[in-house]
């Protein structure tokens, strides 16, 4: 049997990380088993449809390296792959169920349903449709249809006994039938509901493994009632736990940690994000943490999916990202970091290549880069307490002497290259008898205003250029003299 998995998102906006992980696991399993990964767009809920959201799905999956074997834009033997294009398929199936007594026409109006819902709430009960229209005779139903009354078609769910099924992640599950609602299969506008179209499409497309979020655990018994009513084979279920920010909180749009695009815009690498996301809810059974997509395919095993919520640890992701950045080819890093330099250094005519050499090992997430390098554009305000450093044996008084000594040395340098700056200053320090740290620490503070910088005094002086280095040195020296 060929394994066929599917990712079936609703085009309602950006790609949530939970949805992206669902797509990833479906893709990995299909490829591991030599099967097919199908993309289907489930747009039956037109009220929630967002223009352009389908393209977001396409672009995100392609960006992450998940190429589908069948789908709306590539075709296949089981199309169309957009549910709104399949509208005419569903009603005949619903009518088959009506003929079998597994479903029925419902003519209750919204007002009538609202009234019954309010009455149930007043009694402290959870509202469930009361099968009112199930009692209509065939003649009464036909008369209403002939009169053109609006209707929906509902599932005729059993009210006694249990419905059970087996799930790869959660094991054997059982649900009392008296908790099941007579869900709507066909809406008044003729469109199928998500739940009904889902079952029909999965069957017609030959889906063998349904991998989806655990929020569908309680709906699955109703899906199985449909499979059984049609006499169809039930697929293997693999319900995935929720991706959480921590034990109590889900990922949220407000916190900027819910969508794939949030992380890409912040400067996380897609490779790092996919690698880490694969491990949020699954483990390879050994100590490996870093995987290419091909390596994930080889390692993936649905039996190693966790049944506890997957905690999406931002610190762990950031660590992954930093490791990926460090391993990047330098020219690729330079290309990616340059726009982030430009945000704060545009027009300063700095040597971005040298700055990138200093920054690559320090970069964790690209959106942090501007704050780390903006001191090169404008000297920040700083407290002279930064000159205090026990290890370097410096303080503001020592700094005054050191800057007084090093300024004419810097002024005398004609070839303002990093090597010349280094050799000239180091020779002057040796001649003066001072300790290296007693000069270089104050110099770095004087021209950067920061306790921590990419590179030391020589690298910063080179990047700033001679004129800006000396200008900053003058300002800092005067500040020291006034306050020391």
Catalytic residue IDs: 253
Question: Would you list the DSSP string of 185-243?
Answer: EE-TTSPBPHHHHHHHHHHHTT--EEEEEGGGTTTHHHHHHHHHHHTPPPPEEEEEPPE
* Burial (Cβ within 10 Å: 0-12, 13-18, ≥19) of residue 397: exposed
Question: Which tokens belong to 333?
Answer: 């890093």
Look at residue 86 and give its three-state secondary structure: helix
CA–CA dist 338, 356 (Å, integer): 8
> How many whole angstroms separate alpha carbon 296 and alpha carbon 279?
10
Q: For the chain, how long is the longest CA-to-CA vector?
A: 111
Whether the bond into 80 is cis, omega within 30 of 0: yes
| Cβ(300)–Cβ(282) below 8 Å | yes
CA atoms lying within 13 Å on the CB side of residue 234:
17
Angle (nearest 5°) at CA 322 between 316 and 323: 90
DSSP letters, 289-344, are ----HHHHHHH--GGGB-SSPEE--HHHHHHHHHHHHHHS-HHHHHHHHHHHHHHH
């Amino acid at each position: 049997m060929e394994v066929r998995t599917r990712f079936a998102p609703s085009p309602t906006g950006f790609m949530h990380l939970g949805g992206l992980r669902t797509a990833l696991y479906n893709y990995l399993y299909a490829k591991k088993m030599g099967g097919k990964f199908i993309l289907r767009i489930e747009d039956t809920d037109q009220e929630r449809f967002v223009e352009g959201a389908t393209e977001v799905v396409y672009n995100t999956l392609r960006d992450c390296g998940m190429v589908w074997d069948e789908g709306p834009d590539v075709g296949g033997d089981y199309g169309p792959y957009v549910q709104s294009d399949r509208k005419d398929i569903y009603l005949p199936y619903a009518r088959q169920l009506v003929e079998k007594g597994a479903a029925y026409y419902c003519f209750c109006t919204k007002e009538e349903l609202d009234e019954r819902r309010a009455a149930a709430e007043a009694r402290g009960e959870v509202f469930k449709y009361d099968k009112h229209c199930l009692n209509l005779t065939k003649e009464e139903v036909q008369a209403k249809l002939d009169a053109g009354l609006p209707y929906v078609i509902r599932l005729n769910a059993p009210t006694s006994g249990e419905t059970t099924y087996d799930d790869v992640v959660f094991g054997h599950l059982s649900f009392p039938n008296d908790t099941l609602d007579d869900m709507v299969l066909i809406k008044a506008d003729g469109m199928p509901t998500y739940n009904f179209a889902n079952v029909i499409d999965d069957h017609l497309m030959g889906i063998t493994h349904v991998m989806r979020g655990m929020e569908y655990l309680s709906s699955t018994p109703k899906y199985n009632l449909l499979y059984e009513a049609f006499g169809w084979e039930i697929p293997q279920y693999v319900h995935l736990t929720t991706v959480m920010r921590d034990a109590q909180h889900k990922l949220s749009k407000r916190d900027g940690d819910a969508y794939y695009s949030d992380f890409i815009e912040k400067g996380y690498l897609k490779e790092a994000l996919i690698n880490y996301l694969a491990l949020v809810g699954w483990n390879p059974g050994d100590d490996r943490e870093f995987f290419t997509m091909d390596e994930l395919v080889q390692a993936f095993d649905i039996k190693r999916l966790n049944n506890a919520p997957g905690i999406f640890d931002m610190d762990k992701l950031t660590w992954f990202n930093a490791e990926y950045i460090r391993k990047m080819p330098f020219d690729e890093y330079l290309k990616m970091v340059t726009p982030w330099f430009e945000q704060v250094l545009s027009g300063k005519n700095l040597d971005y290549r040298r700055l990138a050499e200093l920054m690559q090992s320090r970069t964790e997430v690209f959106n942090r880069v501007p704050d780390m390098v903006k001191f090169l554009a404008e000297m920040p305000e700083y407290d002279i307490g930064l000159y205090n450093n026990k290890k370097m044996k410096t303080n503001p008084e020592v700094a005054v002497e050191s800057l007084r000594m090093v300024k004419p040395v810097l002024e005398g340098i004609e070839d303002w290259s990093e090597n010349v700056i280094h050799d000239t200053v180091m020779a002057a320090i040796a001649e003066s008898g001072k300790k290296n740290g007693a000069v270089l620490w104050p110099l770095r503070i004087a021209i950067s205003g920061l306790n921590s910088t990419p590179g030391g005094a020589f690298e910063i002086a080179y990047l700033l250029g001679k004129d800006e280095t000396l200008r900053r040195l003058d300002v800092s020296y005067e500040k020291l003299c006034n306050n020391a």
